[in-house]
Structure 1
Amino acid sequence: MTTLRLSVLDQTPVGEDHTPDQALRASVDLARAAEDLGYTRYWAAEHHGSPGFASSAPEILAGALLAHTSRMRIGTGGVLLPRYEPAKVAEVFGVLASLYPGRVDLGIGRAGGPARDFPRRLADLRALLGEGGAVPHAPVPPQMWLLGAGRESARLAGLVGTEFAFGHFFSPVGGREAFEDYRERFRNATGRPAGGALAVRVVTADSAGRAEELARGLLLWRARKDLGEDAPLPSYETTRRHRWTGAELARAEVHRTALVSGAPEQVHAALTALAASHGVDELIVNTLTADPADRRRSYELLADAFALPPGGPETTVAHAARVPASVPAGR
């Protein structure tokens, strides 16, 4: 039986009673805890112009997280490549991978610019990292991941031979088909089997009731965002006093389908089933709460429920990046 690995996708959430600088420091604290708890990797997300997230420069945050941890893989989930020149991204991650060999992940997203230009940018970046075109050229290049929530990204990841993570929290449907496309193309391109990881939004707590309170706060934030009110995550008190509108309730129900919440044993069962149905052995867990203490507790309970090995898998640091030079770059 395959052991299910857990990792962290951190969007550095800002609660209404907290400031962005406090949220960033909370991310550093959470990364330290996640390493001790046995999580495999820790990714910093990229968002711009949103009061609810402080993660506008994931490569900078990744550098800080690498400096405050020693074993866990650290990276981005992900750099929005259409916003940047591939050469600059290659240089930044060449520096990180040179300083922290064998620990750096480069997760790439396709949002933030023209989609038609993305395959070229991805091919340029892979060439710079894989053939030594970027200075410094790290002895162990970063492991490249393509992130997506649809079949197009999955097919591209398979064609060029990168790792692939599907954003279930963006789109809870279509993941199985996306992984099928990815694995078929990856096998044809590289001659090797592919795995992949599923990124899931999760909230758990010491009781089902407390987990539901936290879930309602997250759903209220998400519903408001859909309806044009982009704000920090509401506190427990704000959520408890809130009188929901019909439109908010409707949007919350839409997003609840992409949220796994409940007591630890309930969440364990749901996540195990999700991993099995998508054929993955790694879940990248995204948890959003207004209070960093609630977020940390959620990850602690998950680690305990899944009996993660303290300090993480033995192969975490030794796991080499793959940027296969012989795979076609795509067009």
Structure 2
Amino acid sequence: MSTARNIALITSGGDAPGLNGAIAAIAQTPGVNLYFYHGGFDGIIEQDPVAISPMTAREAVLQGELLCHSGRSTYMLHEAGQKRVLEKLKQDCMDALIVCGGNGSAQGAKALSASLPVAVVPMTIDNDIGGSEYTIGHDTAVNAIADSLHRLRQTAANLPGRIFMVETFGGRCGQLPLAAAVAASADIVLLPEYELNIDEFITEVQARSARGKSVIIVVSEGVYLNKRFSAGDQGVSFALARALEDSTGKRVRLSILGYTQRAGDPTSYDCLMAKQMGKCAVDALLNGEKATLAALKEGHVKAVPLTAIDQPPTLAKEFMKLAFNENQLIQLEG
């Protein structure tokens, strides 16, 4: 085994419930001294490391609030900043770094891997990291969105003939809205992977609304009509709602779930996945691996080369089949 014992950990980018399970698994590994830097990559430079005890980590597994605070980085955008991160970790006597986050965070870890052993624990509700079939926080977020859709279904039954639209997170990947729409049996789901013909969309909603029942539409934030999506953009549903209202004469009941999707205590599945991924990451470092992604592959968590993050994310085939079966994917009809 390698001599790596002082292991630094950061969370980077958007937060996601469940990560405390990964932290607990790492902290409880024999021979490991685990240290946090709050604030992501920038926190490594700007703050002192904080030791975390195994008991403290274990007691926080079921909490939605993360033990290690996240942050977005400016230093990692250029080589000079990356050098400062490495120098600070060396100054603090850190033997390795575990980065918990999404695509951008994983790319930052890869940039450091030539000079320091690193492992990535995939953490984002979007479930959009290439090389892994799952990312921590996704299941909790799907449950939160599905719960909102179930509640809308109840009020829709009391007020038939209405049009409801719910905008979700997900960025450029449709995994999150797809899973939630299938789980909650929404009527239509719009995904960023496919072009949206606004006229066909309006015609389909009109046809379904004419049947007398309410229509529930799930819209990914990444479904943009006249411009490219940028991280952090929200509000595409306003344009879609206006187009529907102008054509149908019906008011669209609009909900943008926003940051509530990233909040809440984690599901048991997220706790289990987080513990497995955290243990996988720390074991890889202790075994001398230099650049690792703790990934879910074919139902098993395993260490894969960090270069796997360069693979494009794909929509879950089994969910796509279910969505086709329920006529939710109007972008692919015709």
Indicate whether the TM-score tops 0.5: no
TM superposition score normalised by structure 2: 0.33
Which structure: larger Rg?
2
TM superposition score normalised by structure 1: 0.33
